[in-house]
Structure 1
Amino acid sequence: MNFIKPKKFKTLLAISATVMLSACASISQNDLVNLVPSSTLSANQIVSGKTFALTSQDIRTAQYIAEIKMDGQEQVQPLHAKQNVREAYANAIYQQFYSQGFAKTKNSNNTLNVKVVDSVVKVAQQPVKYAIDGKVTIQITAETPNGKFVKSYQGSGTKTGSFTADTKDIEEVLNRVSSNVLANIAKDSELTNYMKGNF
């Protein structure tokens, strides 16, 4: 049986402790995550003179945008967004419809509601590696006096790496997944055709 010499064992302990401490110190609870989903803009307008009143809701169960779970610890470290999450998604989605020719107004019988159901990144941090999982769900409701169209759009994404995740890694996953969900909304002909035919 091979035993580790006391000197070597102390060195290994010191390295492990340093890695764990650097992992803890890399992201503080005061760090804010930059939520900047990219809008998928239309090159050509498909409607003219179609208007709606824009409303939005944030119904997420947790108000933080990311959580970090250190290996061996029960509690998670929450991180919040720099931006108002509801407004960030609603504004980005509106830009998409605006590029298609739709416009928002206060006085309209037509409403478009953007509901943020889920938007969170979960980080599993181990001593020498990390895994990031992101999930975003947005529900769109287009409503007129004659009826409404409701649809949910979901996206997920992952990232793994060596040593310690930082805020930029979290932002990369969050914004990539968010932008993909927005792209699905912009390219949904079923939604666009409903708005085009009823607004």
Structure 2
Amino acid sequence: MKKLLLAASIMALTACSAPTEPQLNINPEPVLASQPVVKGKALAVDSRDLRPAQFVAVVDNGEKSVQPLHAKQNLRLVMQDALTRQFGAQGYTIDNQSQSKLRLDILEAMVNVKDGMMSHDLSSKLQIQLVVESPKGKFVKRYSGKSARSGAMSASVEKMEEAMNNLIGAVLKDIYADPELNTYLQENL
């Protein structure tokens, strides 16, 4: 009995010291306007993560081994924060009690990695949907982006982070510069 208890204790300690899977640091840069473009318009911002899987990268090393990688932070909250900062810099007052609501739906956010000993291929996809509801109506629009790059040697976690952060940043720029969205917000809030 003592030997069994000792073996179980050793296995438990070994499991605690086993290396953890790497995680990606997702920290996109929102577009911050130098001058506010609106005044006195309040907006509540919310978000939903509608992805079927919660990991942000999949690494396939070709040996029938596929490794999913998660983000260090909650992707939904990171993207909601970036969007809130972006709209705040445009002059919108972010107020959870506002009758006008903007919801961010994350539909897809993934970096697919084909990893070999001498080279790697990164393929990133992002698809989100913005839903604006105000007393005057509803606006729904999807934004998406894709990127692909190749490199020498094995793909690092930093390269995967850079791919996803750059892609989210590009989609945030599209949102910032979207005349249809900006016109709707200015006329209907």
TM-score range normalised by the length of the shorter chain:
0.7 to 0.9
**Equivalent residue number for residue 80 of structure 2:** 90
**Equivalent residue number for residue 5 of structure 1:** none
**Equivalent residue number for residue 4 of structure 2:** none
- Report the Cα distance in structure 1 between the residues aligned to 2:96 and 2:113, rounded to whole angstroms: 41
**Equivalent residue number for residue 176 of structure 1:** 166
- Deviation of 1:94 (Å): 1.1
1:138 counterpart (118, 121, 128): 128
- Report the Cα distance in structure 2 between the residues aligned to 1:189 and 1:66, rounded to whole angstroms: 32
Unaligned runs of 5+ in 1: 1-27
> Which one has the largest radius of gyration?
1
Identity of aligned residues (%): 33
Are the counterparts in 2 of residues 121 and 135 from structure 1 also a CA contact under 8 Å? Answer: yes
TM-score (norm 2): 0.87
Task: Say whether 1:51 aligns with 2:36.
Answer: no
- Deviation of 1:106 (Å): 2.1
TM-score (norm 1): 0.83
Task: Say whether 1:71 aligns with 2:62.
Answer: yes
Are the counterparts in 2 of residues 59 and 115 from structure 1 also a CA contact under 8 Å? Answer: yes
Unaligned runs of 5+ in 2: 1-18
Are the counterparts in 1 of residues 137 and 188 from structure 2 also a CA contact under 8 Å? Answer: no
Please tell me the residue identity of whatever aligns with 1:79: L
**Equivalent residue number for residue 128 of structure 1:** 118
- Deviation of 1:29 (Å): 5.7
Q: CA RMSD in A?
A: 1.2
Please list the CA deviations of residues 137-174 of structure 1 after superposition, one character each: whole Å capped at 9, or x if unmatched.
11111111221111011011112111211101101111
- Report the Cα distance in structure 1 between the residues aligned to 2:60 and 2:188, rounded to whole angstroms: 47
Moved over 2 A (4+): none
Task: Say whether 1:166 aligns with 2:160.
Answer: no
**Equivalent residue number for residue 178 of structure 2:** 188
**Equivalent residue number for residue 154 of structure 1:** 144
